[in-house]
Structures are given as structure tokens and as C-alpha cells.
Structure 1
């Protein structure tokens, strides 16, 4: 049940009535007519922009349309008043019984309440994390993992068919560095003194890999040239790193549907096929690029390259796809990977990248646009940096990782639920401060605690009700105080919020909504301390108590559903 959609349908029907009465011209487009909460709740329950967006095409004054529309709407039993505001906005107040109907739907549907058919089963590929398989996931990957996973859950809740995907970057030079690093640990396992130089990875996490290599291969690679051991050591090290990465993601409750290996693109004709697809469209050519900004003729040498004409699909400059030695640039396998996604028949693609990939957005969008003839949209979401603090100081690096704070460090400090919720308390492209002390504090300033406490508070009321012999399974409501109406209105916003968040690919909206919902519930509870008649448990009146409890049970349903999207387990009690 989406009350805002229902009232919008009512507004559209009313506009059609005005057309039949010749009060509005035929042929108007109602697509931009919206019904949403007013900026000021004192103005009403909902507001519509219908008169404002239709005035120009109708050749009429907005206020004239609004007044005519108000007269038609006021005749509906669901509308208690329709008031014109300003130049032509229309504020609506709904019959009080409507709110009980919505809350009843929440109780009847449970965590299905708010689910949408908006996605219509469209297939969406969400690629996230995709860290180089060279070590444990760090805190930046943590934010990308939480964001991508919550977005995937949100889209599934909104009716899309979602595939969660991890792109294994195992085809570049960094995995050779991994192999050399693992080989040093292998030599160390044989009692050799080693030195980590030339960018090799010094983290302790490779000690076990070195010992495993010794167990598997014995001493056959000791004192052998690189061409003898590089390939088998690399293969074993990559698999060991991927096992570690899967385990790290498991700590957050993140499970991928599909892992795609970059290495599988090489030597299989897949890169060539993708480039040929672009060549067939006249988008591959030999040419010379202009010098990069900031370069002078003295330190830049023009050279002919094989280029992708990405400017024809919205990019700033054309992009090289082949080096002068005939090998592919790093962009070529990425083109091939996304070509594979397009070939798999996804209706939408979403990539979640770190902030350092900002310069990569336009070229990748251009590639997907070209590969799919503009039919498959690609949305790239950038996740900004996370700054960690503990005891008022920046949190230090992990010895195990060697150079950075790991995902495991964070989760072991505060747990997966706190980690996930906090990572979604800011929009993905905004920097995030993660203070290990503050995220476990009790109080309104800590959104994780505040939302969890709301869920647990309802459970506490239900336990007391059972002790008093009060039924807790009622679906009839008693809503009479403004604080109760505020909570009911917030519950009614949930289906609308789901669709907005899914459409904009912004799961943080769910976290924000849950905080507001919790605030409304806590406000009602506190108001009951002052006004006896609105307390959840009415002494000596079991029937009224059951009707009061129904409303907070409905709010708990929404909190549980929202936390489920975020991947957070609702708290039954707070200790």
C-alpha cells in the first residue's frame, strides 16, 4: 500500500474530471504531477504541485487550477480539506481513519509492507568492492561493500532482479607483485632472511601463504629464477587472497552472487570481441591526442595511438585502448568486462567505485553507451573516504595489513551492525568520520543506538503487555493525539521513500528515514509520560491498550524492514 501513490491517482482522476467539465483543456501531460509531504507539516498531510506544472501548458493561472482542483478533491471521503497556498500549491488533509488503514496494512504485510513493483523485474547488475586480490579489505572497501550491498537489497525490495558482482582484478601487474611478495614469505618459511623492496607487500597476512607454499611445493622453488615459480605462486596467492576477501565480506554479511575474473578476458578473444564491436560502429581509430592539461611541448611527445572515440558518447577526450608496443591499456579489459555484462542482458548496470576513480566515470559510461547502443544505462557511484578515530585520535594502521586499517579491524571493534549502519549515515559521495567511541554511545546523537532502541522499546512494551494479560495481536487502531498522527504519517511515507531511494540509488535515505521514524516513536513514548491517555498501556483498559499497541507494532515492522535493507539485525533488547 502506497498512500502517496493512491492520493496521486486521486488527483489525476480529479484533473480528468476537470477536463470532462471543460475546466481544463484536453491533451495535458500529467507525468510531472506529484503528491508529497509538505515542507511544513502544519500545512497539511500532503501537497500537490498539479496547478503549478499544468498552468503554462493549460494557458491558465495556477491559482485558478488549484481552486477548481480543490473543489473536486474535497468531495472525496478521504480528503477532509484542500487548501490553496501561495501562487497555486494545494495542501491536502486526509481523514483520520486513513492513517489507521495504512498502519493496519503494515501489520498485515509485515516486512513485505513497502515493497514495490517499480522495478518490474528489470535485471540490474551491481558491481561493488572489486578490490585488487593483493591483501585484506581496508576501511575504504568497507564503505563500498556496505553501500553496494545495501543498494542491491534496496533495489530488490523495489522489485528489481539484482545480481551482486565482484570483479577480480587478477590480470594486471599488481598480482605479479603479490606473487613476488608471497615468494619472499615462502623463502622466509624456509629460514631465509628477506627484505621487502620494490613495492612488495610487507603485511603479516602473507606469512600463512608462504607457509602454505612451502607445504605444497617443498623447496623446489628455492633459489630458482622467477620464470620458474611466478605462475604457480601467483595462482595460489590469488586464491588465498580471495578466500581472505570472502571471509572479510562474510564478517559484514556480504555475499556475492558472481565473481568475474579479469584474467579470463585475456587470451580468450573477449577483449578483441569488445573492441571489434566498437570498431564496427566506427569508434576505433588511429590518432594523436592533444597534450594533457599542464603539460608543455618540452615534456610531452605526441604519438599515434589506437583510440576509442569516446567523445561521441559524452566523454571529454578520446581514450587510448592499445599501447605503442601492441599490448592493451588498462581500459581495454574494463571495456571487455562491461561488454560481457551487456551481453548477459542486464537492463541496468551500477558500478560502485572508490573516490580515486572519479576521473574514470565519463570514459566508462561512454564505453557502455557505445557497446549497448545507448540501451543499457550505467550509473557509477563513488564512495568517499572514511576517517577513523579512537580516543580522540586518528586510528592507527593494522600491523597485520602493514599499511592500512582493515575491514576486520573495524568489525572487530564495533561489530557488523554498527559498522553497516554508520557507513550509511552519510551520502556515499560525502566524506565520513567514523569514531569508534561515539558509534557505541547510548543517546540520540548516535543514530545506530537510537534506531535500535526504538525497536527494542516496542519489544519491551509488548513484554509488559503480555505480563498484564493484554492482547498484542490487534490490528484496530486508536489514533487521536498529534504525536500518534505524526508516527502514523511517518509509517505511511515508507513505501514512497523506498521508491525514491531506489530510483536515485541512495540507500542512505533509508537510514535517515529510520532515524526520523525512531524519533517519532520516542517522542510519542515521552509524551505518554506527560499525558496518561496516550500511554501505550492503559491501566484497567485492555482493549484501548491493544489499539494503542497496534500503532507502535506497525512502526516496529517498518524499522525491522528498513534495517533488513541496510543489512542490520534489529535489536530485541538493549543492554
Structure 2
């Protein structure tokens, strides 16, 4: 049950009736007609902008449309009143029985309440994290991992067919550096002093890799030149690092559906095939780029290059796909990789990048648009950095220095649930501070605690009711005689519950899972407010001493709230708390 959707259907039906009666012209576009909570709750339960958005195309005064529409809506049995306000907004008040039906629907639907068919099975590939396989994941990767995973869950809940994918960047020079760094740890495992010179990865995380190399090869690599062991250790160390990364992701509750390798694109003809596709479309040419704006880099020289006409698809300049030595630029395998996604039949591609990849957005979107001839959309989400604090002091991170804060460090200190929820308390492209003291604080100022506490409170009520021998199953509560009229505090809570299906669709359309976190905080606030009102107004208490029927009516509302909290937390990848410790 999506109450806002259902009432919008009633609004559209009333508009169609006005069209059939000649009051409105045919062919009006209803796309921008909305039914939403009013800005001021005192104005009603819902509001529609229908008259305002249709006035210009209908060549009519918005208030005239609104008055005719309000008259028709007033005839709907669910609508008690439809009042025209201001220049043409319509405020709606619903029959109290409607809210009882919302509560029952939540209890009957359970975890499926709010699930949407918005996506209509559209196939979406969400690629996220995709960190270089040169070490464990650090806190900077954590936010991208949480955001990508929550976005995938949100889209799945909204009816999309979602695949989570990790792109292993194992085709570049950094993997050679990894192999050389692992070799030094191998020498260390053999009792020699490691020569961890500048440019190698000095982190202790490579010590077990060195031991694993010794366990496999003994001492035989010590006497061999680099060209004899580099390729083999590159693959071995990469596999070791990917095992570590999979473990890091698992500690955060993230599980990928697909791992794709950049290295697998080389020597297989896939890069050539993707670029041939672009060449067949007339989008590859030999040319000379204009010099970059501002101060020229010392190594810049004017030379002919193999270029992709990315400017034809909104990019600032055309992009080289081949180096002067004939090798591929880093852009070429990325083009090929996205071509494989298109070939796999995805309708929508979403890439989650770090904020430092902002300059890469236009060229990548241009490549996908060109490769698919405009049939597949690429949406790139940039995730800003996380500023990590501990004891009031910022943590510094340096992957090469080996002093970075790992994802595991954060999860071990804060817990996966706290980490995930807090990472979603800001929009992905807004900076985020992660203060260990604040995220573990048990107060209203800590949103994850506040939401978890609301769910735990409902669970405690259910336990007490069950201890009294009362049947408080969802099936039983769905049959309870619910109050009419509702107390204002109860009404506020059930109205917020009714917003959940609408919120899911809004968040999914915008690819913004943080909206779910914000909503859950507001819902928890309404539950806590009702709970606290019960301290002064005994008839509002969820447990009515010795009265099972009255308690069932109250607990049904509380339980419906808990169902929605649990559902929203599942999207965020957070476990609902049954008790607070």
C-alpha cells in the first residue's frame, strides 16, 4: 500500500473526468502532478499541486482548476475534505480509517511494506569500491563501499534488477610495485634484511604475503633475477590482496556479485574490439590536442595521437586512447570494461568514484553514450572523503607510508552497524566527519543510537506483553481494533509510517540512500515523542495494564513502526537492535 500513490491515482482520475467533461483540454501531461505531505501539518494530511502545474498548459487560472478538482476529490470516500489554499494548492484531510488501514497493511506486508515496482526489472550494474589491489581497504574506501552497497539495496527494494560489481585495477604499474614490495617481504621471511626503498609499499600487511611466498617457493626465488619472478609474484600478491579486500568488505557486510579484472582485458582483443566499435562509428581519429590551459607541464609536447571524439558527447576535450609509445592510455581499458557491461545487457550503469575522480566523469559518460549509441546511461556518483577523528585529533592516512587507518580498524572500534549508518548521514558528495566518540555516544545527537533505541523500545514492549501471556504476533495485531479518532501524537507517527513507500521511490529515483537514514531518524523521533507522551498521558502508553485489547491497539502502531525501521535499516545494511546495552 502506497497511500500517496493511491491518492495521486485519485487525483489523476478526477483530472481525466474534468477533461472528459470539457473543463480541461485533452493531452495534458500529468508527470509533474504530485501528492505529498503539506509543508505545514496543520493544513491537512496531504497536498497536491495539480492545479498549479496544469494551469499554464490548460490556459486556465490555477484556482479555477483547483476548485473544480477539490469538488471531485471530496467525493472520494477516503477524503474528508479538500480545501483550496493560496493560488491553487489543494490540502486534503483523510478519513481516520485510512490510517488504520496503513497500520494493518504494514503488519500484513512485513518486510515487503514499501517495496516498489518502480524499477520494473530494469537491469542495473552498480560498480563500487574498485580499489587498487595493493593493500587493505582504508577508511576512504569505507564510505564508497557503504554508499554503493546501500544504493544497490535501495534500487533492489524499488524493483530494479541489481548487480554489485568490483573492478580489480590489476593492469597497471602499481601491481608491479606490489610484486616488488612483496618480494622484499619474502626476502625478510627468508631471514634477509628487506630493502624497502622509496616507491615500494612499506606496510606490515605484506609480511604475511612474504611468508606465503616462502611457503610456496622456499628459497628458490632468491637467486633469480626480477624478470623471472615479477609476473608470477604479481599474480600471487594480487590474489593475496584480493582475499584481504574480500575479508575487509565482509567485515562491513558487503558482498559483491561480480569481480572483474582489468588485466583480463589485455591481450584478449577486448580493448581493440571496443575501440574498433568507436572507430566504426567514426569516433576515433589521429589528431593533435590543443595545449592545456594555464601553465604548461614540463613534459608537454605537441604530437599526433589516437583520439576519441568525446567532445561530441559533452566532454571538454577529445581524449587520447594510445600513448606515444603505442601502448594504451589508462582510459582505453576503462572504455573496454564498460563495453563489456553494455554487452552483458545492463540498461543502466552506476559507477561510484572517489571525489578525486571528478575530472574523469565526462569522458567516461561520453564513452558509454558512444558505445551504446545513447541506449545505456552511465550515472557516476562521487563520494567525498571522510575526515577521521580520535581523541579530538585527526587521523592522517598515507597508503605508501604504511600508516593509514584501515577499514578493519574502523569496524573493530565502532562496529559495522554504527560505521554503515554514520557513513550514510550525509549525501555522498558532501564531506563527512567520523568522530569515534560521537558515533558511539548513546544520545539523541547520535542518529544510529536513536534509531536503534526506537526499535529496541518496541521490542521491549512486545516482550512484556508476551510475558503477560498475550498474543502479540503481527497476524493478531493486524486484526486489532484500532483507535478512531487517533490522538495527535499517534496520528503523527502513523502519517510518518505512511510516507515510507513514497520515500523509497524518491530516494531510488535520486540514487540517494542517505534519505532513508534521514527518514528513519524522523520516524524514530515520532516514536520516542509518543513514548514520552505516555509518561504524562497514561492512555497513550503502549502497554495498558491488564487490558489485552487496548494494548493490542497501541502495540499494533508501535510494531508497524518497528517493521518500517527494520526495513529501512536492512536497506542501509544495519541490523535492528532488539535491546540496548
TM-score range (shorter-chain normalised) is over 0.9
Whole-angstrom CA distance in 2 between matches of 1:360 and 1:295 = 21
Aligned pair partner of 1:529 in 535, 546, 565: 535
Query: Structure 1 residues 488-497 or 472-481, which shifts more?
Result: 472-481
1:106-255 map, 5 Å: 106-255=106-255
Q: CA deviation at 1:86?
A: 1.3
Moved over 3 A (4+): 296-300, 395-401
Cα distance in 2 for partners of 1:414, 1:254 equals 16
- Work out the CA distance in 1 between the residues paired with 2:462 and 2:450: 19
Cα gap change, 1:400/1:225 in structure 2, threshold over 3 Å: closer, same or farther? closer
Task: Give the one of 552, 555, 564 matched to 1:558.
Answer: 564
Measure the CA separation in 2 of the matches of 1:90 and 1:385.
43
Verify: 1:478 aligned to 2:483, yes or no: yes
Candidates 489, 494, 498, aligned match of 2:500: 494
Q: Distance in 2 between matches of 1:47 and 1:290?
A: 54
Shift of the 530–442 alpha-carbon distance from structure 1 to 2, 3 Å rule, reads: same
Q: Shift in Å at residue 194 of structure 1?
A: 2.3
Shift of 1:299: 6.9
Instruction: Name the counterpart of 2:47.
Output: 47
CA distance in structure 2 between the partners assigned to 1:220 and 1:405 by the alignment:
35
Judging changes above 3 Å, is the alpha-carbon distance between structure 1 residues 276 and 397 closer, same or farther for their aligned structure 2 residues?
closer
Paired with 1:75 and 1:273, the residues of 2 have a C-alpha distance of 62
| Deviation, structure 1 residue 397 | 5.3
* TM-score normalised by the chain length of structure 2: 0.97
On the 8 A contact 1:308/1:318 being kept in 2, the answer is yes
Quote the residue 2:22 is aligned against.
22
Residue aligning to 1:462: 462
Give the secondary-structure state (helix, strand or coil) at the position aligned to 1:194. coil
Q: Alignment partner of 1:221: what SS?
A: helix
**Cα 1:401–1:553 shift into 2, 3 Å:** farther
Query: For residues 395 and 297 of structure 1, do their structure 2 counterparts lie closer, same or farther at Cα, with a shift above 3 Å needed?
Result: closer
Cα offset for 1:145? 0.5
CA contact 1:127–1:148 (8 Å) conserved in 2: yes
Superimposed CA distance per residue, residues 286-335 of structure 1 (whole angstroms, 9 cap, x where no aligned partner): 11111111135987421111000001111111000001111000000000
Mapped contact 1:83–1:92 kept (Cα < 8 A):
yes
**TM-score when normalising by structure 1:** 0.98
Is residue 345 from structure 1 mapped to residue 351 from structure 2 by the alignment? no
* RMSD, aligned α-carbons: 1.5
Stretch moving more, 483-492 or 17-26? 17-26
Number of aligned pairs? 575
Q: Which residue of structure 2 lines up, in the alignment, with residue 444 of structure 1? A: 444
Secondary structure, aligned partner of 2:409: helix
Confirm whether residue 334 of structure 1 aligns to residue 316 of structure 2: no
Q: Determine the C-alpha separation between the residues in 2 that align with 1:186 and 1:543.
A: 71
Structure 1 residues 69-104: Cα deviation after superposition (integer angstroms, max 9, x where no partner) = 111101111111111111111111111111110111
In structure 2, distance between residues paired with 1:391 and 1:156: 39
Does residue 539 in structure 1 map to residue 567 in structure 2?
Answer: no
SS in 2 for 1:117: coil
Report the alpha carbon displacement of residue 478 of structure 1 after superposing the two structures with TM: 2.2
Correspondence list, 1:42-121, <5 A? 42-121=42-121
Q: Secondary structure at the match of 1:443?
A: coil
Structure 1 position 162, deviation (Å) = 0.7
Q: 2 CA distance for matches of 1:39 and 1:136?
A: 47
SS class of match (2:575): coil
Cα pair 1:311 1:317 within 8 Å, conserved: yes
- For 2:372, the equivalent position in structure 1 comes to 372
1:307–1:321 contact (8 Å) kept in structure 2: yes
